[in-house]
């Protein structure tokens, strides 16, 4: 009986120290676990915010590049860059078409950063500008001096009623940029 009392007493002594130690250990584990989860969530949020900032910068750069593209393929900007007095109508027509296509192809990757609407608008402007050049040039003698095509295209552009394809595209791009700036993504 004495052995049993001694054993019980020893067991109670061990439990007196072990149970509080286990409670403290459990509490410490829970506190550290919550702290680590909280820190992990803060890190994830920070990484997410940084990636959002990077994505926003990339998107804004894409809008800038597409704005430049649309401006560069407008006849008023395009004609002086490609016209030469020794060219024929066919030469200028070819140069303008390849110039538009080259500008467009140089900016193909920008489509991943902008909405489908903006990209389709930019593609539409490209097609309209090429079509306009071809329509005006088809009515002319291919071997005539390029000055005649230059004049006809500029007259066509200046006499066009309403907004030009360039104006429409720039408005759509600007509207979307405002939404992106206001809401962060669109």
Q: What is the pLDDT of residues 43-102, one digit of tens each?
A: 887 777 776 777 888 999 999 999 999 999 999 999 999 999 999 999 999 999 999 999
Inter-residue contact 94 to 39 (CB < 8 Å): no
| pLDDT tops 90 at residue 170 | yes
Average pLDDT, the chain: 90
Pick from 83-92, 151-160, 162-171 the range whose average pLDDT is largest: 83-92
Residue 112 CA to residue 118 CA, distance in Å, equals 11
At 10, the pLDDT band (50, 70, 90 cuts) reads confident
pTM to 2 decimals?
0.72
Backbone angles phi, psi at 88, to 5 degrees: -100, 175
DSSP string covering 2-44, please? HHHHHHHHHHHHHHHHHHHHHHHHHHHHHHHHHHHHHHHHHHH
Q: Quick one: pLDDT at residue 2?
A: 65
Secondary structure element (H or E) that encloses residue 156, with its range: helix 146-159
Residue 11: pLDDT over 80: yes
């Amino acid at each position: 009986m004495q052995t049993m009392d001694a054993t019980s007493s020893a067991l109670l002594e061990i439990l007196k120290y072990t149970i509080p130690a286990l409670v403290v250990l459990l509490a410490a584990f829970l506190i550290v676990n919550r702290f680590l989860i909280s820190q992990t969530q803060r890190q994830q949020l920070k990484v997410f915010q940084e990636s959002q900032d990077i994505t926003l910068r990339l998107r804004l750069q894409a809008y800038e590049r597409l704005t430049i593209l649309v401006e560069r393929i407008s006849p008023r900007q395009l004609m002086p860059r490609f016209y030469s007095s020794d060219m024929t109508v066919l030469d200028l027509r070819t140069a303008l078409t390849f110039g538009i296509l080259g500008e467009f192809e140089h900016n193909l990757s920008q489509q991943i950063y902008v909405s489908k609407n903006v990209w389709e608008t930019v593609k539409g402007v490209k097609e309209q500008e090429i079509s306009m050049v071809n329509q005006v040039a088809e009515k002319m003698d291919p071997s005539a001096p390029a000055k005649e095509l230059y004049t006809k295209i500029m007259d066509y552009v200046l006499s066009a009623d309403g907004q030009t394809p360039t104006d429409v595209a720039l408005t759509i791009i600007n509207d979307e940029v405002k939404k992106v700036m206001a809401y962060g993504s669109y």
